[in-house]
Every structure is written in structure tokens, then in C-alpha cells.
Chain A
Amino acid sequence: MRIRALVATLMLWLWVPVVYGQILLAREALEEPQLSVGCLYPLTGPMGFFGRDANVAIGMALDRIHKLNQQYEAIGEKLYPRLKVLLEDSKGKRHRSATIARQLVEEEGVSVLCGVVYSSIALEISAYAQQKEMLFIGAGHSSSRLTQEPVNPWYFRVNNDSRQSMRAGARYLKEMKLEQPWTTLAYVGPDYDYGHQALEDLLEGLEDLGVPFRISGEYYPKLSEPDFSAYIEALLVSPPDIVISNFFGDDFANFVRQAHLQGLLKVSRLANFDTGGGYDVIAALGNDLPPGVILSGHHHINWPDTPRNREFVAEFYRRSDRYPNFMAESSYAAILAVAEAWREADTPDAEGMRRALEGMKLPLPEDPPGFQSWIDPVSHQIMQVTAIGESQPNDDYPPAKRMLGNWKIYLPEIQP
């Protein structure tokens, strides 16, 4: 299934009761796009909700670009490019993703690739982008391997990676020791690159901070595993003080539900510093998510409490009748980053955009007051604030019965 987000966006624009907007966009739509972007997300299957949220958010990003263009046009500033975004359903499959990426580039002529949920697939797409010397804006996957040496000069990531999340988690755990002493950790993560890389990042973070700890066990159930009981039983043989889990989506919801039922959460604290605090997980768990679980996500709908974040969440809700998971803001950021890079580039080509992206500042809904997301020119990783909270009863964002609160905020370890 192919969804042409541009067409969907045009349909939305036509409904907007602003005559000028319709004419302008109709004129824009008729003109040749200046830049084509191909995005890969699972739109169907168990992870399909990620892609469906990305679809809505990409439409919002295009609308924002359009609105800014109107302002820039009025004051004679350089405009954003006429964008064409092709969103393809990868179904979360490696082979399909690789094939579609090739088709987008070689048949559809896209200049920039974006998206991808699974890190191992992103590694392959990144290698392909490097081979083709074209930009790949990673949005949705987290393995820090993609932004480690040797850095792919054509790869940039616009959401926090596992290294940032887990190092923020290490700082959280260090602070936690003062309030609630702990000594043992166990790790349960998905058996693919992201799951392994996240533990490495956490251990490195704890060692750098000089936090004494002992690993009591590490387990790697496979992706989309529905039954974690054997792993939870193994954890219960000698329950650690804290269980770090790096599952995401339905996998994490299943893990929490089963850990709760098997009594693990009564004897150990559970933490997920990267994506466990996503709205999709919290809403899926409902009352099965016990209070006090330590969670974070790449974007939160109730933090920061800024006009821009509130507006982003409200607009998303208005368009889709649901609250966004973190994939929405990542894909939104990817489109804005591409447009901004084109606008700032000294030459409107891949090389010019690549140079513009290095060190680029990109204000996003998830930025708290006084902070602006920026892309590290060395690692090509976006630098963002990590907010870690605890699950608390909250009915403000139905159908979720819990939301995160009691926040602890961690700024990036490097400054622009």
C-alpha cells in the first residue's frame, strides 16, 4: 500500500476555509516539487500504529511549512522548498524496507530518505544511503550504533538515540541511589541491535558516573515475543532491585502486564528510559500499568507544558481523534529538518543540505523553555532534553488511565 502524504495534505488544505491558502496550495501542487522525500514506516501489522501517527504528523509538518512560507513570502525571505513526501508501508520487514528504499530512490527519484522504526533495518538503509550519497534522516529508531564512529556522513537522526536515553537513565539511577538505595540491575531488551546497544550505552553511562552496581541477569527475548513468562520467572529467581527493559510498543505493554501479574513489579522497580513512556504503551496498558514505573519517551504529550507542545498535541488530536505517540513528533521533526536544511543550504543539493544539517538548530514541540534541539555536527545525532517520569493515575488523556509525572529533566551532555 502506498500513501501519498502530499495528496492527503492537499485534501486537508482544500477543506481549510481560507481562500488564499487554497489558491496558493493549488498553485504549489501544480508546480514541480523542488524536493522529494521518501519515508519508510510500518503502516500495517503490529507496529502499524507508529506509521499511522507518522502519516498525520507529516501532514502537520507540511502545513507548518506552508504557513511559514506565507510569512516568508510576505517579508521577502527565502522560502522552504515545494516538498513531495512519499510515505511507504515497510510492514517492519527488513527485505521489504530495503526493496522499497531502492524503489523510492531509483524509480520515484526521491532525494532524501526518512523514517524507519527498527534499528537493524535503519543500519541497512543507512548503508544504502551512504552508497548512494543521499541523505537519510532517521526518525523513529534509536540504536546508537548509527551515530557512532565511523559516522555515515549522509545519515542524520532527529530523535534521541539509545545512548542519550540510557545515559540520562544512568544519571537518574545515580540520583535514585540517594533516595532509594539499590545495588542490582537486570536487563531485558529485544534481541536485535537496538536491544544490545541500549544495554551497552547504559553500562557505559553508569561506569562514567562511577555508580557501583551489579548486573544480576540480562535477557534478550526476540522481537514481537508474546510470552515473557519464562524470562520473568528467571528474573524472579533472584529479583534485582531494578529491572531495565527496553522493549517498545506492544512488546513493552505485554512485558509490563505479565511482569505485574507474575509479581515481578512487587519485588523490583521497572524502568524503561527510551520509549516505554510512549502514549501508545500507556494507553494500551490502562489500569494494568502500576504507579511508580519509571518511564521516558522521545516525546511526551503532557511535557513540556509549553504553547507549542500543547498546540502540537491538540492539532494532532483534531486531525486524528487520538493522542500522538512519540513517532509523530520524530517524523514531524524529520520533515521540518529536511525543509530547513534545503532552505539554509548554500547549494540546493544533497551536499549543501548535509552541510546545513550539521549543527542546525531545529525548534521542536518537545523543547522546554530556553532550549532548542540541535544536530551535533560530529555524530549527526540531534541533541534533545530527556524527561524521565513515573507513572501516575491520570484520566486527562483518555483512554490512558495513567500519565507520567514527577519529572526529572536531563539536558544533553554536550552543548552546541
Chain B
Amino acid sequence: MKSDLTLRDLTGNQKKISLWRNSLVRRYLVLALLVTVLPLLVVTWLYDRFTGELLEDLGEQQVQYSMNATRAALSGFLKARQFELETIVDLPNIERFVLEDPMSSDLEPTHALISFETDSFDIYGVLFFDAQWELKAALPGVASSGSPYWGEMELSLAGLPRRKFANFWLIGPQEPRQGLSGWFLLAAPLPKGADDTSSPGFVALHIRFASLTELLKNQSRIDGFTPLVSTSDDHRFTVNGQIALDETPSWLSEEFAPGWSIEVVKHDPAVDVTEELRRPVFLLGVGVSVVLVTGFFMTLIMRTKRRFVPLIEGAEAVSRGDWNIHIPPEGNDEITLLAKAFNRMGGRLQALIDSRLDVEKKAVIGEFSASIAHEVRNPLATIKVCVQSFPQDGDPRNTELMTLVLEEIDRVNGVVENLLSFARPIDPERVRVTAGDLLRRLVALIEPLAVRENVLLSLSGDQNAMLCVDENQIQQVLMNLALNSIQAMPDGGELNFDVKSDQDSTVIAVSDTGVGMASEALERATEPFYTTRCQGTGLGLSISKRLAQLNGGDLQISSEPGAGTRVSLTFNAPGDKHG
């Protein structure tokens, strides 16, 4: 970014101003970045540092609290099954299921009661074993499937852990295998028959293992902790009753049945891509924010520079004496107002200086003209008298020469009169007069000349507009302007006198269709002694402008070569005090 500005001082030496190093905006930028980014990074670091630990602590507390509830749920599930089993054991003829056909009509009432007691999706069925744990009968429940209820009556307890649990046996669990769910047995010895001396065997509830592990569900919802059921054969099972593949040692363990525990494994929360990316994404976000903020301020600096540089250059130009400065006003803000004020200041200073120069110039010219006129007019009068005194010899040639000399003396005298008029104009005697009166009188005077020069005269506009001017002086001004216009139309043309008036002013515009003026001539047209005609004195427009100003007006010329010239005489509207 180009941030330097080269300026030239009053002595002409160049100097560079660094807009970036010295910029207020830059300072604000650095400050804003420090104020926003530093606390953000500090807070983020603290958040990152402590939130993880806090969540972990909260998770640990939550696990410990919910462990109690989970343990109660699991042991409650087993107790409910124990109660069902006790009810079955107490049923009449229950021991006969080991020895007889369970579908026999004798056992039908008991069978119906067993079915009623175990009508649950948590129980696959009720099994009857003899004293050697050989399966003798299998009564299917609603969730039963395949063996031993349908097809082959096979169920092996070999290899399954067997633990005494109060008056019951807890056997299993049998882990799930392909096509089969996991299960465990809760068994109780059958009561002795009337003739028996020992228990004929056992009755067992064939229980869906996942119904037990699913009770871990609430605990499994705590992030970073996995609850498992550990059984007496050191197997661990997930909430779905599947063998757990996670071998992480347990962080918390609580037994809910002999050899069966709830274990909670603590580990880092599952590595989630979005979690892993969170920190880099956050830092990237901070970086992007810094870049955006910096970009914003850089743009601000560039814009500010673009607005301030013309002001600085303008001030520098004024210091060098160049008053004709114009700072293009962009936008509508304080800087625009400053630029406009600056432009007004330059314009007014230029006008003041021009006016001062004009006054001084006029004073010098007036003094000079008065002196010349005085020194020339007296000898000229003497010369004229002397020439008129020459004797007439009747020679026509001499008579003609005499006439020429007298005419030249009169012309020089006219020039001297003009010089005196310019140098010491007569104070105007202002009266109220309509523009129409002035113009009609003028037209009457110049009409013969206009006709001869093939110039068409016309009046337009508000002829009743009132003026408060010296009638003779303004008549002289208008005559001067009209003659200039006629002379500017050697091949004829149109000369229009137009009057426009409003509450504040009256403008009399004298427009011709003549040859017009070049821009250089236009600029100098009202300077004394400036003329483009060989016979001109260069005082006509100077005097006209002076007279207009003496009458409270102004004279402005606009012209275009080949298209004509327009001279506007602007007078303030006459006040009531004059009327």
C-alpha cells in the first residue's frame, strides 16, 4: 500500500509525509486488535483449559450418582424374576414337569399358571432340569425361539458359570451367537414330591440377557463413560448384550449380583472429526477475523487518504500563492463540507486580491491619465486656436489640410476627454427609469446606423422593469455596447436588447450575432487601452464597466468566436426609498 505523500514546502524543498506511520486510524486499528483479539485468545485458552476438566468432573459425578440407580434397576430386575420363580416353584404339581409330559391334561392348570406368570418379552421360557441338570422340559414363552422349544430340545449348560444367588442359581450368561440372542438362567430347586427324599431337579427362567444389559441405557448417555455388565466368567457385555470389545480397565465397578457387576469404563470421548477440528477451526476463525478487521481498517485508511490528500495538496498550493484551487467535493460528509469551505475560502481570497489589484491599477491609470490629459489638453487648445488663426489663401489643398488638422485635434481631444472620464468619472445622479425608456431612446439613436449596416434591432423582455441609475451614464454604456456590436457585424446581423427582472435584480442583455471574441480577448476586454481594432482607444468597455459599477451594477461579457457576443448589465432592483 502506498502510504506516503510528497509535498513541497515554501522554500521548494520536497518532504514526505508517512500516512501509515502517523495515521490515527492505524493507531485505532492496533488498539482495536489488541482489545478484541487478546482477550478472545485468553478467554479461549482458559475455556479450553478448564472446560474439559469441568465436563470430566461433572461426568464423573453424574456417573457416580447414576450408578446407584442403575445398580438398583439391575438388581430389581433380578429380584422381580426371583419372585416369579418363587411363584412357579410354589405351584402345585410343579415337580411333575421333570418326570411327565408337560402337555398332559393333568398338568394343564399348572402349565397355564406358568404361562400366565412368565408372559413377558423378557423371558424366553421356563425350563425344567433333573438333579443332574439334564433338560427335561421346555415351556415356551412369547419371546421363545428355536431350540430348546421348537425342533430339537437342546440346551447345554456346559462351560457356563454357575453362582449361588440366595436360594437360587445364577447360570450363564450365554453370550449371543450368530442367529441367537444371549441368555442366562435363574434356577431354583424343585420341591420334593410326596414320595421323594430329595429334590427331583430344578426349574429355571430362561431370561433374555439383553433385557438386563439394556438397563444400563441411562448410564450410557454420559459422554466419555461406557457402562458394561461384567459377569463371573470375566466377560463384559455392552448395553445391547453383545460381548464388549473394549478392554480398558474399569474406572468404577459395583456388584449387583454374585460375580456380576456394573463396570464403567472411562475413556476419551469418541474421537469425532468435528471435535478434532474444533480448535484449528476456531483459530482459523480468529485469524480470519484479524485479517477482516485489518482489511477493514486498511480500506478505511485508503479512503481517508484519498479524501485528505486533495485537502493537503490544496493547502499546500495556497501556501505557494496559487489561489485558483478547486477540491472536488465527494460525498456528503464532514470532509466534503471542509473541502467546500476550503474552495470558498480560496475563491474569496482570489476575489479580494483581484479587487485590490484592480483598485490599485485603476488608481495608477487614473492618476496617469489625468496628468497626461492635463498636460495635453492645454497645448492642444493652443494648437487648435493657432491653426484656426492661419490665414485662408483660397488654396483648396491648404483648406483641406487645415480641416484635417482640426479634425485630428478634435479626435485627440476626444481621447483626452475619455481619459478624463475614465480617471475621474462624474458621480452619477440616479433616478428611477424604466429599461424600456432607455432602450427605446437608444434604438432611435442608432437605428439609422443599424439600417445602414444591415443590422436588425429588436427589444424583448420586461420593458417596464425599473432601474435606479444615472440616465445619461447608462445611456452612454448602452450606446457603447450597441456600437461595439454593430461594428462586430460588418456583414449585418441581429442586435437584441433583452430585459429580465426579478425581485432582486434587473438584467439588460445586449446580444449580437457578430464575430464574437476569442477567449484571450474576452478575458482582457474590460482592461483599459486593450482593443482589437486599429482605430479603437481601448477605453470603451473599461469606461462602460466603470459606469455600470458606479450605478450599482455590473457588466459581464460572454462570447464565442463566430457565434456572437452577449453583454449583461446587472442592476440591483430599486428600493422603495427611491420610489
Nearest Cβ on chain B to A207's Cβ, whole angstroms = 13
Complex CA gap A262/B111 in Å reads: 43
Complex CA gap A227/B178 in Å reads: 23
Nearest Cβ on chain B to A42's Cβ, whole angstroms = 12
Binds A, one of B115-123, B280-288, B396-404, B420-428: B115-123
Which of B103, B142, B181 interacts with A223 by CB under 8 Å? B142
Nearest Cβ on chain B to A262's Cβ, whole angstroms = 13
A75 within 8 A of B: no
Tell whether, in the assembled complex, residue A193 and residue B240 are in contact, meaning their CB atoms are under 8 Å apart.
Answer: no
The B110-165 residues at the A interface (CB cut-off 8 A) are 112, 115-116, 119, 121-122, 140-146, 149-151
A-contact 0/1 string along B284-320, CB 8 Å cutoff: 0000000000000000000000000000000000000
Tell whether, in the assembled complex, residue B142 and residue A120 are in contact, meaning their CB atoms are under 8 Å apart.
Answer: yes
Complex CA gap A274/B122 in Å reads: 24
Tell whether, in the assembled complex, residue B151 and residue A145 are in contact, meaning their CB atoms are under 8 Å apart.
Answer: yes
Which B residues are in CB contact (< 8 Å) with A25?
A: none
The B189-224 residues at the A interface (CB cut-off 8 A) are 208, 210-211, 214, 217, 220
Binds B, one of A194-202, A297-305, A403-411: A194-202
Which B residues are in CB contact (< 8 Å) with A13?
A: none
B interface residues, tally (CB under 8 Å):
32
Tell whether, in the assembled complex, residue B146 and residue A193 are in contact, meaning their CB atoms are under 8 Å apart.
Answer: yes
Complex CA gap A227/B239 in Å reads: 12
Complex CA gap A218/B177 in Å reads: 9
Which of B103, B116, B181 interacts with A95 by CB under 8 Å? B116
A230 within 8 A of B: yes
Given contacts A94-B142, A192-B145, whether A230 and B239 have CB atoms under 8 Å apart is: yes
A175 within 8 A of B: no
B572 within 8 A of A: no
Complex CA gap A201/B358 in Å reads: 118
B180 within 8 A of A: yes
Which B residues are in CB contact (< 8 Å) with A93?
A: 119, 142
Complex CA gap A294/B556 in Å reads: 95
Which B residues are in CB contact (< 8 Å) with A173?
A: none
B242 within 8 A of A: yes
A73 within 8 A of B: no
Given contacts A98-B115, A195-B145, A234-B242, whether A123 and B210 have CB atoms under 8 Å apart is: no
Tell whether, in the assembled complex, residue A95 and residue B210 are in contact, meaning their CB atoms are under 8 Å apart.
Answer: no
A108 within 8 A of B: no
Complex CA gap A222/B142 in Å reads: 11
Which residue on A lies nearest to B213, using beta carbons?
A230
Complex CA gap A229/B214 in Å reads: 11
Given contacts A191-B181, A218-B178, A222-B121, whether A196 and B146 have CB atoms under 8 Å apart is: yes
Nearest Cβ on chain B to A189's Cβ, whole angstroms = 10
Tell whether, in the assembled complex, residue A234 and residue B179 are in contact, meaning their CB atoms are under 8 Å apart.
Answer: no
Tell whether, in the assembled complex, residue B140 and residue A120 are in contact, meaning their CB atoms are under 8 Å apart.
Answer: yes
The B232-247 residues at the A interface (CB cut-off 8 A) are 238-240, 242
Which A residues are in CB contact (< 8 Å) with B142?
A: 93-94, 118, 120-121, 192, 223
B-contact 0/1 string along A90-133, CB 8 Å cutoff: 00011110110000000000000000001011011001000100
Which of A124, A191, A196 interacts with B140 by CB under 8 Å? A124
Tell whether, in the assembled complex, residue A200 and residue B150 are in contact, meaning their CB atoms are under 8 Å apart.
Answer: no
The A185-228 residues at the B interface (CB cut-off 8 A) are 191-193, 195-197, 199-200, 203, 215, 218-224, 227
Nearest Cβ on chain A to B269's Cβ, whole angstroms = 14
Complex CA gap A75/B181 in Å reads: 58
Which A residues are in CB contact (< 8 Å) with B242?
A: 219, 234
Tell whether, in the assembled complex, residue B238 and residue A222 are in contact, meaning their CB atoms are under 8 Å apart.
Answer: no
Tell whether, in the assembled complex, residue B208 and residue A196 are in contact, meaning their CB atoms are under 8 Å apart.
Answer: no
A231 within 8 A of B: yes
Tell whether, in the assembled complex, residue A120 and residue B143 are in contact, meaning their CB atoms are under 8 Å apart.
Answer: yes
Complex CA gap A356/B146 in Å reads: 30
A-contact 0/1 string along B91-114, CB 8 Å cutoff: 000000000000100000000100
Q: How large is the interface on A (under 10, 10 to 19, 20 to 34, 35 or more residues)?
A: 35 or more
Which of A95, A192, A219, A230 interacts with B220 by CB under 8 Å? A230
Which A residues are in CB contact (< 8 Å) with B220?
A: 230
Which A residues are in CB contact (< 8 Å) with B214?
A: 230
Complex CA gap A298/B180 in Å reads: 26
The A219-254 residues at the B interface (CB cut-off 8 A) are 219-224, 227, 229-231, 234
Which A residues are in CB contact (< 8 Å) with B151?
A: 145
Tell whether, in the assembled complex, residue A192 and residue B115 are in contact, meaning their CB atoms are under 8 Å apart.
Answer: no
Nearest Cβ on chain A to B74's Cβ, whole angstroms = 15
Tell whether, in the assembled complex, residue A222 and residue B144 are in contact, meaning their CB atoms are under 8 Å apart.
Answer: no
Given contacts A191-B181, A230-B240, whether A223 and B143 have CB atoms under 8 Å apart is: yes
Complex CA gap A99/B144 in Å reads: 18
Tell whether, in the assembled complex, residue A193 and residue B145 are in contact, meaning their CB atoms are under 8 Å apart.
Answer: yes
Tell whether, in the assembled complex, residue B121 and residue A192 are in contact, meaning their CB atoms are under 8 Å apart.
Answer: yes
Tell whether, in the assembled complex, residue B121 and residue A223 are in contact, meaning their CB atoms are under 8 Å apart.
Answer: yes
Complex CA gap A259/B220 in Å reads: 18
Which of B140, B146, B210 interacts with A222 by CB under 8 Å? B210
Given contacts A191-B145, A196-B180, whether A145 and B115 have CB atoms under 8 Å apart is: no
Which A residues are in CB contact (< 8 Å) with B217?
A: 227, 229-230
Tell whether, in the assembled complex, residue A220 and residue B140 are in contact, meaning their CB atoms are under 8 Å apart.
Answer: no
Which A residues are in CB contact (< 8 Å) with B239?
A: 230
Which of B112, B143, B208, B238 interacts with A98 by CB under 8 Å? B112
Which B residues are in CB contact (< 8 Å) with A94?
A: 115, 119, 140-142
Complex CA gap A390/B176 in Å reads: 32
Complex CA gap A219/B180 in Å reads: 9
Which B residues are in CB contact (< 8 Å) with A193?
A: 144-146, 150
Tell whether, in the assembled complex, residue B208 and residue A222 are in contact, meaning their CB atoms are under 8 Å apart.
Answer: yes
Which residue on A lies nearest to B238, using beta carbons?
A234
Nearest Cβ on chain A to B141's Cβ, whole angstroms = 6
Which A residues are in CB contact (< 8 Å) with B145?
A: 120, 191-193, 195-197
Complex CA gap A193/B112 in Å reads: 21
Nearest Cβ on chain A to B221's Cβ, whole angstroms = 9
Which A residues are in CB contact (< 8 Å) with B176?
A: 218, 220
Which A residues are in CB contact (< 8 Å) with B178?
A: 215, 218
Tell whether, in the assembled complex, residue B179 and residue A200 are in contact, meaning their CB atoms are under 8 Å apart.
Answer: yes
Tell whether, in the assembled complex, residue B140 and residue A123 are in contact, meaning their CB atoms are under 8 Å apart.
Answer: yes
Complex CA gap A93/B116 in Å reads: 9
Nearest Cβ on chain B to A344's Cβ, whole angstroms = 31
Which of B144, B149, B240 interacts with A234 by CB under 8 Å? B240
B-contact 0/1 string along A8-47, CB 8 Å cutoff: 0000000000000000000000000000000000000000
Tell whether, in the assembled complex, residue B144 and residue A192 are in contact, meaning their CB atoms are under 8 Å apart.
Answer: yes
Nearest Cβ on chain A to B512's Cβ, whole angstroms = 87
Tell whether, in the assembled complex, residue A218 and residue B210 are in contact, meaning their CB atoms are under 8 Å apart.
Answer: no
Complex CA gap A196/B176 in Å reads: 12
Given contacts A193-B150, A196-B145, A234-B240, whether A220 and B210 have CB atoms under 8 Å apart is: yes
The B322-378 residues at the A interface (CB cut-off 8 A) are none
Given contacts A196-B180, A220-B181, whether A145 and B141 have CB atoms under 8 Å apart is: no
Complex CA gap A123/B103 in Å reads: 14
Which residue on A lies nearest to B113, using beta carbons?
A95
Tell whether, in the assembled complex, residue B208 and residue A191 are in contact, meaning their CB atoms are under 8 Å apart.
Answer: yes
Nearest Cβ on chain B to A107's Cβ, whole angstroms = 15
Complex CA gap A93/B112 in Å reads: 12
Given contacts A193-B146, A219-B240, whether A120 and B141 have CB atoms under 8 Å apart is: yes
Given contacts A95-B112, A193-B145, A219-B240, whether A224 and B121 have CB atoms under 8 Å apart is: yes
Complex CA gap A95/B140 in Å reads: 10
Complex CA gap A238/B143 in Å reads: 28
30 A-B contact pairs sorted by A residue (CB < 8 Å):
A93-B119, A94-B140, A95-B112, A95-B119, A98-B112, A120-B141, A120-B142, A120-B144, A123-B144, A123-B149, A124-B140, A145-B151, A191-B181, A192-B142, A192-B143, A193-B144, A196-B179, A196-B180, A196-B181, A197-B145, A199-B179, A215-B178, A218-B178, A219-B242, A220-B210, A221-B210, A222-B208, A223-B121, A223-B142, A234-B242
**Further pairs besides A123-B140, A230-B239: 11, Cβ < 8 Å:** A94-B141, A120-B143, A120-B145, A127-B103, A193-B146, A196-B146, A197-B145, A197-B146, A219-B240, A223-B143, A230-B240
Task: Pick the 7 closest A-B CB pairs, nearest first.
Answer: A95-B115, A94-B142, A193-B145, A222-B121, A192-B143, A196-B145, A95-B116
